[in-house]
Structure 1
Amino acid sequence: MKIGFIGCGNMAGAMIGGILRKKLVAPDQIIATAKTRNSIERAKKEYSIGVTPDNREAASFADVLVLAVKPVYMEEVLDEIADALKPDSIVVSLAPGKTLDWFAKKLGPDRKIVRTMPNTPALVGEGMTAICPNGNLSEEDIQLVENIFQSFGKTEITAESMIDVVTGISGSSPAYVFLFIEAMADAAVLKGMPRKQAYVFASQAVLGSAKMVLETGKHPGELKDMVCSPAGTTIEAVKVLEEKGFRGAVMDAVSACVDKGRGI
């Protein structure tokens, strides 16, 4: 299997790093495009993969071609590479806002197309990616795409109608979590803890709590109740969060993000 990347920015780099760590393919089975000499040299040095300034070269090389360019450039890129693609290659898009139907109109109705929505924790091997394949992919094709994205995190096959919800709960949500970590650390600093140490405590608490949800299979409410002793410190803090409308604020924020994605 040969994998190509149009674009070699942070997300493409996270994917390439994950693929190589998991040894899905060898470095000489990957090619990425980059427009500047600095980007080409960086990719060569960091990953030892093939790098080219020619998008068509990558398209003709790849069995799976990942489009890692901003949506504003996507139409221009597709016009450039459409007739260079292998007949049976899988085209994977990372771009928000471009639908499977839009790609089919640009590349043809028989083309295998996958729309994805990864998030930035992919940079540390803990990404979450929604995968939306069109009807032209076989089960083996879909598993191949899942294997690629699982090399740097978790995946879920998702209906395209849910992609904006994925943006709200996963694609954009690292920003909410960073804000939460920062606020907890600020409170610790207010009470006298050094800031560097406060970030470690807050961040590890979030990481460990998330792992408990994923690995125990318990409802988050049940896990919350396990921490809340009668008349204790934790339930006192939970009471304040409820009084301040914590849950409602989070729900409103996610809903606003989804609505923005849907153009509402």
Structure 2
Amino acid sequence: MKVGFIGTGSMGGLLIDAFLTSGALAPCDVLASNRSQGRLLALQERHPGITLGANKETAAGSDILFLCVKPLEFKSLTDEIASCLHSEQIIVSITSPVQLHHLEGALPSKIAKIIPSITHNVKSGTTLCIFGERITKKDKLELLSLLSHIGVPLEIPEAHTRIASDFSSCGPAFISHFLERWIEAAVATTGIDEALITRLAGEMLLGTGKLLTEGGFGPQELQERVAVPGGITAEALNHLRISLEGVFERLITTTHDKYEEDVGKLDALFGQNDIVRSRLDR
């Protein structure tokens, strides 16, 4: 099986690295193209044996093709490669605002969408999976099997792409910002070694994740077990509840507004404004 990647930047390169270091793919299985020749050569230096080429060559030679470009670059890319594709190939977008109907209307192939995460660097986290109408049960199992090497693949409805991405893909940045501010305050207030407190924070986060995914705890139950009434944790937790009032609602509104803006631009590029109007009418 040949797996191609058009776009080898931040996330495309991460996926290639993760698939190869996990053993899911061998270098001889991978085809790659990118506008930057420097990125391609760096990729080949890390993974000798991969095949580099132009977009059309990568598209034509792939059984599964990952499209790893920015949202507003998709229309020009699909125009470029459509004639090189056929109905048995699986095309996988990794860009959340690009809708299945955009690609199914532009390409002859089977269409899927995934939302990967930076956590795949350590073979962890969740890969969100959305499958188009042309994808068969066999295709779905093949993709899920491939993705299981770098994290936990989870199928979701396309309508929940944005909110699910807030947690699986954007979440590491949001949580890291919270920890960064907490660590800065700890160092400034107490003089504790930054490397030590950062290690403590990372181990705490890892353990908390395991309690939520493997330990049978929900978030509320976990708070109740740690925060003894009248204790230090409970008092600090009450401060957090007051300070964060409305923050997460505003966060969700911000990400959703940007997402809808990008979807609208893509509808216009792909000539599907009628589809977005019908979606808003429902």
TM value normalised by structure 1: 0.91
1:41 is paired with a residue of what secondary structure? Answer: helix
- C-alpha offsets along residues 181-201 of structure 1, whole Å, 9 cap, x if unaligned? 112102211222122222222
**Pairwise CA distance, 1:96:** 2.7
- C-alpha offsets along residues 40-93 of structure 1, whole Å, 9 cap, x if unaligned? 221111122423241111111111000011122211111111111243010000
- Does residue 152 (structure 1) correspond to residue 150 (structure 2)? The answer is yes
Aligned residue in 2 for 1:167: 165
Aligned residue in 2 for 1:132: 130
- Structure 2: stretches of 5+ with no match in the other structure: 265-282
**Pairwise CA distance, 1:256:** 2.8
Report the AA paired with residue 57 of structure 2: E
**Pairwise CA distance, 1:259:** 3.3
Instruction: State the distance in 1 between where 2:15 and 2:125 align.
Output: 10
- C-alpha offsets along residues 84-116 of structure 1, whole Å, 9 cap, x if unaligned? 1243010000123211111111114xx310012
2:133 is paired with a residue of what secondary structure? Answer: coil
2:98 is paired with a residue of what secondary structure? Answer: coil
Aligned residue in 2 for 1:57: 57
Instruction: State the distance in 2 between where 1:7 and 1:51 align.
Output: 14
- C-alpha offsets along residues 200-247 of structure 1, whole Å, 9 cap, x if unaligned? 222221222112101113211111211122432211211211222x26
Call closer, same or farther: CA 1:49–1:75 in 2, change over 3 Å.
farther
Call closer, same or farther: CA 1:260–1:222 in 2, change over 3 Å.
same
Aligned residue in 1 for 2:234: 235
Instruction: State the distance in 2 between where 1:156 and 1:92 align.
Output: 15
> Identity of aligned pairs, percent?
27
Instruction: State the distance in 2 between where 1:242 and 1:11 align.
Output: 34
Aligned 1:4-83 pairs, distance under 5 A:
4-83=4-83
Instruction: State the distance in 1 between where 2:12 and 2:148 align.
Output: 14
Report the AA paired with residue 228 of structure 2: S
1:35 is paired with a residue of what secondary structure? Answer: coil
Aligned residue in 1 for 2:106: 106
Call closer, same or farther: CA 1:251–1:169 in 2, change over 3 Å.
farther
Instruction: State the distance in 1 between where 2:245 and 2:116 align.
Output: 25
Aligned residue in 2 for 1:213: 212
Aligned residue in 2 for 1:192: 191
Report the AA paired with residue 248 of structure 1: G
2:134 is paired with a residue of what secondary structure? Answer: coil
Superposition RMSD in Å: 1.9
**Pairwise CA distance, 1:141:** 0.7
What is the total number of aligned residue pairs between the two structures? 261
Cα contact 1:3–1:64 (8 A) shared by 2: yes
Aligned residue in 1 for 2:223: 224
**For structure 1, which segment, 58-67 or 71-80, has the greater mean C-alpha deviation from structure 2 after superposition?**
71-80
Cα contact 2:125–2:168 (8 A) shared by 1: no
2:69 is paired with a residue of what secondary structure? Answer: coil
Cα contact 1:125–1:153 (8 A) shared by 2: yes
1:262 is paired with a residue of what secondary structure? Answer: helix
Report the AA paired with residue 32 of structure 2: A
**Pairwise CA distance, 1:173:** 2.1
Aligned residue in 2 for 1:254: 252
- Structure 1: stretches of 5+ with no match in the other structure: none
Instruction: State the distance in 1 between where 2:55 and 2:257 align.
Output: 34
Report the AA paired with residue 153 of structure 1: G
Instruction: State the distance in 2 between where 1:181 and 1:204 align.
Output: 12
1:216 is paired with a residue of what secondary structure? Answer: coil
